[in-house]
Structures are given as C-alpha cells and as structure tokens.
Amino acid sequence: MVTTCTAVYGLPPTVLSKANLVQVLKVQQENLQLLRANGVVLAIGSDMVNDSSVEEAEYLQKLGIFDNLTLLKMWAETTPRTIFPKRKIGQLQEGFEASFLALAGNPLMDWTNVRKIKVRFKQGNLLAP
C-alpha cells in the first residue's frame, strides 16, 4: 500500500472543512497504526503532481508511528521496489543499480537531514549539484 496522507492538505474547503480536518488526521493515524500492526507493506508516495514524497515522509515522521529507521527503509527500499518491481534497486548491493543520495547528516539521529543532500547518483552516474 502506498501512503498519500498529506493529500488532505490540498483538498479545497468545499471537500474537507478545517473543522473536519482534525478528525481525518486522527483516522489516518489510527489506520496507519492498524496497517502496521497487521504487517501490511507500506510504501511512501504522493497524490500531488507538484509534490515529491519528501513531504509525505516528513508528515509520517511527525506522526510518530514509525521510528526513523523503519521510515527510512519504507522510503528508500520498499518504495522504489514497489514502483519498479522488475529493477534491482533499493539496496546498496552487488548487481543493483547505483542510485542513491549522500546526506550531510544521519537521518536516524535527526530526520531533517533527509533534506540535506550533498551528492546524488543515478544508475552509477554522479548528478550535477
């Protein structure tokens, strides 16, 4: 299952009023806890065309349901394998595509480091900063 929880923030007030938003967020949290407790594989995504999954990952981190390691594995391993099941991605291992980011700090210690990208590699090629 791909999470798209932050999509609620893009809904117009005619669809979701601010008064109902608090209840929707509570239901999201309860549902994510239920899915996790029942072993459902979760990937991180976005329903917003002008958005990346970083906002979704940050939102999930703030919910406190997943520790940083679990969340990072969902985002960096499960998500790419879910999107591209026939490709060898999502692991730093012999025979896998060398697509990865090097961060300025450890996101396990401080989640804000996910936005501090120092180097990008895609399929073994260094991308321009």
pLDDT band for 18, please (50, 70, 90 cuts). confident
Residue whose tokens read 């520790």: 67
Over residues 61-116, the pLDDT tens digits come to: 999 999 999 999 999 999 999 989 999 998 888 999 988 999 999 999 999 999 99
By residue range, what is the domain housing residue 6? 2-126
pLDDT at 50 over 80: no
What is the predicted pLDDT for the residue at 33? 95
Q: How many distinct structural domains can be found in the chain?
A: 1
pLDDT at 129 over 90: no
What is the predicted pLDDT for the residue at 7? 84
